[in-house]
Structure 1
Amino acid sequence: MTAVAFHTPERRERAVTALNEKPDGIVEAIAAKADVTPAEVLAVLPQGAAVTIPAAQFSAIWTDMMSWGEVLMIVQTGDIVLEVPGMLPEGSEGHGWFNIHGDSPIGGHIKKDNCHAISFVDRAFHGRRSCSVWFMNADGNAMFKIFVRRDENKELKADQLSKFETLRDTLSR
């Protein structure tokens, strides 16, 4: 597993303090308030809430998630939170990109080499359990996230949750 290195003990303390103020809040907002990276916030979550895997597992993780059915891909910047539901299409590498195209609204090109680590995040979000896979860059920000979907009762879909937990547990051994 990949560990986050804090530049100073003060950064870690700021992350802990901000997280304690809003433990089920938006990670990026917590990070901004503490003036740390989202990766640093994930690093101070309770044990097991964020399990980080080396980026070398990118292709294996992507391939596994292709079998999950409809997921929710989120790309978040300072200006937009883009949410795209769909199945993950097959990807191929070419010209320095991981290219995804298929019969899904999820498509485009990912700079796979910019992926520094992949975190399986299982935590409360606004009072509800939320499970997602974060593809993190070297700056400690999420390139994009893949979320386990919810059913009509707003509960995590059991089949996807099982696949999330199995993949996380298998890769973190």
Structure 2
Amino acid sequence: MKKLMIIMLFVLLSACVKKVAPNNQQAFFSHLKSLCGQVFEGASTYPDDPEHDFAGQLLVADFAHCSEQEIRIKFAVGEDHSRTWVVTQSAKGLLLKHDHRHADGTPDEITNYGGWANDQGNDWRQHFAADQTTADLIPAAATNVWMLQYDPNSQILTYDLKRHNLPRYQAQLQPRK
């Protein structure tokens, strides 16, 4: 009986322990946070389609705001400044959300989509699988996996999107000179 009570107590205590983000997610967040204040410029690298909305547009990622738990990266496509990537660090792991706003600051109808980092990343790259909020908001995006990567050697910031495990979009940006 005493052994059973000890086992039950152990199970209950285990259930109360918060899940801690893997070390590579914490390292990635720290690396990304070290870019705060920097601005990156670049272009779409995929798809190679002149009809794509982002084709021929200057892309700008501005690491505008960083705190201990959140990094906000303003992402402009040409003159369109409606997007912000929000990376949040919590006990559950890293969360990437896409915050879309109208020019007056009100939320777009399609905003706050993204997902949690999965176990495919490392200290310099993380993959974020679509969460249920995204699947409910944009059913076609239920299989989305976004990837953010920073290569400290080349100083290239890469944003990548796959859907149904197939390439959908990629951009590469370098520090503004």
Is the radius of gyration larger for structure 1 or structure 2?
2
TM exceeding 0.5: no
Give the TM-score normalised by the residue count of structure 1. Answer: 0.31
